[in-house]
């Protein structure tokens, strides 16, 4: 349970980083770009001494991992902007509820050999989508009527991008990853893809004169990169600790991140939740419980 709790806290720490970056005048884009070299270094230091990292360009999964890395940095940028403009709770909820996308692909397209879904499970999937929609409502200052703008779509974009990247990870695991001991190798390859995409975008913006390198952004990259990698790594350790029972670990992980993120936003940033936001939060917890009620029932027994 220790690794699961650490993963939840580290994941929320990522959102808190995004929230405080403007206060310290940290450029979110640059912090995200430079966070991936920090991620790679963190993961490289965690490699067992008897394992050497290498990239095999003749493997299909290598190119898929590079592509996922590009998707990661786009998703991360969207998550940072959404956190700053729509708040921690809405972004966290959109992130965690995105699990309905890989679940649906796994059930109806990949046809993986998992559990059979019943009415309660499908009800949970529907409620999860509704919860994301309710969580995006955010009353503007000085207005009594909800104003819909482009910012409203940011949590939706986070929801879709996280769901897409997680679906591709599932696809790689099903089709291409030979064994679980390759997890760290594959993760580092994904990070290389994110590094390449991020540096390319940064160079273009530097040439255009839209960016200037600042020391504060490099410090922000460190505070972002270390928990970014460790949150994923401790989640993998939690899965191993519970015998690879992802249907049990992931719901607890998602519920934990949603609740801790909402609590942190309320305590540290005085983010006010509308009634509709609170309803969305409750629906999210209910949805995750319904999606995995069989596994939770087994644990209670």
- pLDDT 10s digits, 208-242: 888 888 889 999 999 999 999 898 778 877 776 77
CA-to-CA distance for 72 and 188, rounded, in angstroms?
A: 13
Number of domains comprising the chain: 1
Determine the Cα–Cα distance for residues 139 and 146; give it in Å rounded to an integer.
6
Q: For 242-298, what is each residue's pLDDT tens digit? A: 765 565 677 778 778 878 888 888 888 877 778 888 888 888 888 878 877 776 777
* pLDDT tops 60 at residue 99: yes
pLDDT at residue number 163? 84
CA atoms within 13 A on the CB side of 300: 7
Complete DSSP assignment for 185-214: HHHHHHHHHHHHHHHHHHHHHHHTT-----
Tell the burial category of 48 from Cβ atoms under 10 Å away from its Cβ (0-12, 13-18, 19+).
Answer: exposed
Q: Looking at the predicted structure, is the pLDDT value of residue 147 above 60?
A: no
Give every CB contact of residue 201 below 8 A, 6+ residues apart in sequence: 29, 33, 73
pLDDT value of position 10: 94
pLDDT of residue 220: 93
pTM exceeding the 0.85 threshold for the entire prediction? no
Q: Which residue in this structure is represented by tokens 């540290």?
A: 268
Give the residue from 266, 98, 82, 217 showing the smallest Cα distance to 166.
98
State the number of CA atoms in the 13 A half-sphere of 299 facing the CB.
13
Least confidently predicted of 49-53, 54-58, 71-75, 172-176: 172-176
Could you tell me the pLDDT band of residue 135, with boundaries at 50, 70 and 90?
A: low
Residue 301: which pLDDT band, with cuts at 50, 70 and 90? low
CA 9 to chain centre: 13
pLDDT band at 146 (very low <50, low <70, confident <90, very high): very low
3-state helix, strand, coil in the chain (%, to 5): 80, 0, 20
Range of the domain at 59: 2-300
Token reading at 203:
């160079």
> Using CB atoms within 10 A of its CB, is residue 284 exposed (0-12), middle (13-18) or buried (19+)?
buried
CB-count burial class (<10 Å; 0-12, 13-18, 19+) for 67:
middle
pLDDT value of residue 244: 57
Mean pLDDT over the full length of the chain:
80
């Amino acid at each position: 349970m220790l690794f699961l709790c650490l993963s939840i806290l580290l994941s929320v720490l990522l959102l808190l980083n995004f929230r405080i970056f403007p206060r310290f005048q940290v450029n979110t884009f640059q912090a995200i770009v430079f966070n991936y070299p920090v991620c790679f270094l963190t993961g490289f230091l965690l490699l067992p001494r008897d394992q050497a990292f290498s990239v095999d360009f003749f493997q299909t999964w290598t190119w898929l991992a590079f592509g996922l890395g590009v998707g990661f940095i786009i998703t991360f940028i969207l998550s940072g902007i959404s956190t700053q403009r729509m708040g921690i709770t809405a972004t966290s909820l959109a992130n965690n509820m995105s699990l309905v996308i890989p679940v649906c692909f796994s059930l109806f397209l990949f046809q993986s050999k998992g559990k059979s879904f019943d009415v309660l499970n499908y009800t949970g999937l529907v409620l999860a989508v509704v919860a994301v929609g309710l969580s995006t409502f955010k009353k503007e200052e000085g207005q009594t009527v909800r104003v819909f703008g482009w910012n409203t779509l940011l949590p939706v974009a986070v929801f879709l991008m996280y769901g897409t990247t997680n679906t591709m990870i599932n696809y790689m695991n099903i089709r291409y990853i030979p064994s679980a001991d390759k997890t760290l190798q594959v993760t580092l390859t994904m990070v290389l893809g994110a590094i390449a995409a991020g540096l390319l975008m940064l160079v273009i913006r530097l040439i255009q004169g839209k960016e200037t390198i600042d020391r504060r952004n490099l410090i922000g990259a460190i505070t972002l990169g270390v928990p970014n990698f460790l949150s994923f790594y401790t989640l993998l350790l939690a899965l191993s600790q519970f015998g690879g029972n992802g249907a049990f670990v992931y719901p607890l992980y998602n519920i934990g991140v949603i609740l801790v993120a909402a609590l942190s936003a309320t305590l540290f940033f005085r983010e006010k939740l509308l009634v509709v936001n609170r309803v969305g939060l409750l629906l999210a917890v209910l949805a995750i419980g319904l999606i995995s009620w069989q596994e939770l029932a087994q644990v209670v027994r």
